Every structure is written in structure tokens, then in C-alpha cells.
Chain A
Amino acid sequence: MKEKIQEFRQYNNLFTELVRKGIKLKYRRSYLGIVWSMIEPLLTMIVLTVVFGTLLGHKEKAFPVYILAGRLLYSLFSQSTTAALKSIRKNEAMIKKVYVPKYLYPLSDVVFNYILFAISLIVLFVVSLVLGVYPTLRTLLAVIPLIVLFALSLGVGMILSTIGVFFRDMEYLWNVGLMLVMYTCAIFYYPDKILSSGVRWILSCNPLFCVISCFRDCVFGRPMNAEMLLYATGFALVTLVIGSIAFEKNQNRFILYI
């Protein structure tokens, strides 16, 4: 354990460099650069509001805030887990030539996506103000689901990055998996009808749905659903533990498979 901490200190700088690289390269050679991390969710929000607002007849003024909150959290989860899944393969040139603690790759991928996500939260804040959803003391509690979201993304990311080394198919499987996650996250519809019906489990089993739901409660100044928060936190911790153990156990074999 002591060795691990010492190693992390030594490679702390590499971790920062990898995160920096992720952020720098994401929008390199685009004219607007990092501003895209704010414009892109804004534009998607408008499209989704127009499509689903008319289609499902949601005419409430705050519907865009509802959509944006869900969309932002979902896209962080999907982008960071997909990046983590490919992270070992993407860095194979480095892994094959020098010793580097390998967990830095999935970790830095999740962290850099999280930083961009944090920037895009500014958009949510502005849109909320414009549409009359004013922050209250409860809004501050949004930090809790956001921390759970980080743990969940990292945990799932570690599991996926381990599997991804041995089975390339995982990339395609995960795309399908993410689609399932997306539709059971209630991003662009209200979940009340499903939640009060017999198939409630379809949504409430999805930890990401629980995180999004709690986050929305904070944004709209409502108390969080304790059951959902507990479930999501538990789920995130379990994936984090499984992910770390699986990664640690297999990392020395990675090199033989990439």
C-alpha cells in the first residue's frame, strides 16, 4: 500500500499531463475550442426540446432544464466509460515500451471527461436562470449525486477497460448497452407513469437513472429520494471495488494481449 502511494506521487505529474492532453486534444483544430463543451449540450437541448416537447406535448417552461440535466449526466457517463474502455488499447505504444502504472489511463480519461462536464454545467446554470428555475439551498446538494456519478463512471470504466483488453467485442457490446442505459434514464420523458406502474424496476434498477433523478431533484429544489440515492451510491461503490480488483489482478497480463 505504501509503495502504491509512493508510486502515485512519482507519477502524479504523468496523471496531470494525461488529463491535460485529453482536454487539449479534444477540441484541437476546432475554431471554438473548449466553448464547444458548452454549445454542444445547448444545441442538443434545443433539438430534444423541439422534438420531444412537441411530440409528447410537454409545454412546461422548465422542460428544457429537465432535458439538459439528464442529457449532461448521461453523456458524461457514456463518454467517460467509452473512453476508459478503449484507454489501454489506445495507449498500447506507450505501454509496450515503458513502465507506467496502467490505471492512470482509464483514470485520466474519466477525469478529463469529468472536467469538461463540469464546465458544461455552467450552461445548465444559465439555462435554469433564464427559464425561471432559481437555485435554492437544496441546489448545493447536487454535489452528492455528482460525486456518485464520478464513482460510478470510474468503476464501470475500470471494469470495461479490463474486459476491453481481452475482448475487442466489448466496444460494440457496450454501444448497445449504452443505448439501453440511455432509454432507461428518462432523459427526454417524465418517468412518473412508469414509476407508478408494474414495470417500475426497468427504471429504478438503472443506477444512472437514480443519479439523474436525484440530481434533477436538487436542480428543481426538491428533496432527493433517499432510496434511489442509497441504491446508486451502493451500486457505484460496488462497481468501483470490483473494477479496481479486476484491473489490479489483470494489469500485468495486459501487455500480452494488446
Chain B
Amino acid sequence: MSEEIIRLSDVGMRFNLSTEKVDSLKEYFIKMMKRELRFNEFWALRHITFSVEKGDRVGILGLNGAGKSTLMKVIAGVFRPTEGEVVKQGVLAPMIELGAGFDMQYTGEENIFLYGAVLGHSRKYMEEKYDEIVAFSELGKFIHVPLKNYSSGMKSRLGFSIATAVSPDVLILDEVLSVGDAKFKKKSEAKLVSMMNTGVTVLFVSHNLEQVRRICNKAMILDHGEIKHFGPIKEVADIYEEMTK
């Protein structure tokens, strides 16, 4: 069963936190002349090495600012790591923020095809999935309304429905289950569980420890950009509970 699907070796991500944001030409030249172009280096992630096997459900735990979202973005390919290497296989569905890539002037229907394309799927494939997506999102006739008139719950429901309809190999969930009403929350969790049974790999970022315990079989604690613990869910979750007491 041990088929590696994601492997990170010694990954580091450095940001330049310029004390003042320089984004005009004039400012840049003045600062260059005065030699004031200083950056504060900041490693959001450092020496991250781990691998995820096919079918694993890994919970990512950590306090705010520990680097969880950065890690997800590095895996999703949004950030190119400053050092180290990320190797991945299969189709990845990042849900770092539901509905990234939605266009507010577009209707729900048009956005389904746009978002599908963003995730790298063909129009034909999306046409096949269309009915399923609309049904799951429970948007009904609102699917023909421009997105700018949607409530935030409706938007995330649509985003969730699209991202999960396309049967990815790896699902990256960053705090996405905390949106929507209780009923939809239950439904989306059920959907995730049914997807997991088909062997999808999940990376799950959440502050809801109870949910992580329910969904994941492994967990990781990040602290200041480094992995503190990585192992079976029970162990790690207990440590985390102790930590946050």
C-alpha cells in the first residue's frame, strides 16, 4: 500500500518582509540612492521533510502563523520553494480558499467551467459533471445569477461542489469546512468521507481538533515553520491538545 504521492525534501520558503513596501519606481530609485533597500528575511518554512502515502489523511495542526497555509501553497505549486524540492503525483485539487478563480460578474454556471479549467479540466469533462455539481451545491435557480449577488455561504458551497466533483488524487483542504451552515457542513464532511473511501489522499488544515481526529489517520504539528511532530493521529492530537491547553 505504501505508494508515495507527495514528498518534500528539506523545503524552505523565505519571504522578504520589506519594512516599507516599495512599489513605485520613484521610491525605488530614491531608496536605492540612499541605500535604504533593506529587507527583513523571514523563513516561513524551514527544513520541511516528509512524505505522504496514497490514501493517507494528514491533519496539519499549528497555531496561527505557524506556516500551515504556506506549506499548503508550496505543495499546491502556488509558491516555488526557496530551497528544497517538492515531488508530487496525480491530480491535485487545492481548496486553499474556496472559489479562488471565481469571477464575480460571471454566473454560477459560467464559473463552474472557469473554475474547472483553472483546475486543469477540459470543458467536456466539466459538462459531464455539471449536473452533479449543481445538485450538490443546492443552488437551484441561483446558478444562472452572477456571483456578485451570492452570499459568501453560497460561493463556498459552489466552490466545494466543484472541487470535490472532479475526483482528484490529492485534496488540499485549508480551513474550508468551517464555512456554510450546519447542514451543509455535515453534508460536505460526508462527501469527504465517501471520497476518502475511494482512496483519495487528503491534506487537512483545521483548528477544529475534533474534526481532525475524525477525518485524519495521521497528523503533523507545525511550529514557527518547522515540523515538531509527525505521526499517527492519536499521538499527535494528544500532544497538540496538551500544547494548546
Which residue numbers of A lie inside 8 Å of B, CB to CB?
10-11, 13-14, 16-18, 21, 24-25, 28, 93-100, 166-170, 173, 252, 255-257
Contact = CB atoms under 8 A, between A and B. Distances in A.
Contacts of B117: 11, 13-14, 16-18
A95 B24 contact: no
Contacts of A99: 76-78, 94
Contacts of B119: 98
B24 A168 contact: yes
B160 interface: no
**Count class of interface residues, chain B:** 20 to 34
B43 interface: no
Contacts of B121: 13
A17 B23 contact: no
B120 A97 contact: no
Contacts of A256: 15-16
A252 B120 contact: no
Contact of A97 (B101, B103, B123): B101
Nearest to A91: B101
B24 A98 contact: no
A255 B94 CA distance: 17
Contacts of B105: 25, 28
Contact of B94 (A13, A18, A98, A252): A98
Q: Which 10 A-B pairs have the closest CB atoms?
A: A97-B100, A99-B77, A14-B117, A17-B117, A94-B101, A252-B80, A169-B25, A167-B25, A13-B117, A169-B24
Contacts of A10: 120
Given A166-B23, A168-B23, A98 B101 contact: yes
Given A13-B117, A168-B23, A255-B79, A96 B100 contact: yes
A24 to B, nearest CB: 8
A94 B118 contact: yes
25 contacts: A10-B120, A11-B117, A13-B123, A14-B117, A14-B118, A17-B114, A17-B123, A21-B103, A21-B110, A25-B106, A93-B101, A94-B101, A94-B118, A98-B96, A98-B100, A98-B119, A99-B76, A99-B78, A100-B101, A167-B23, A167-B24, A169-B24, A169-B25, A169-B26, A173-B25
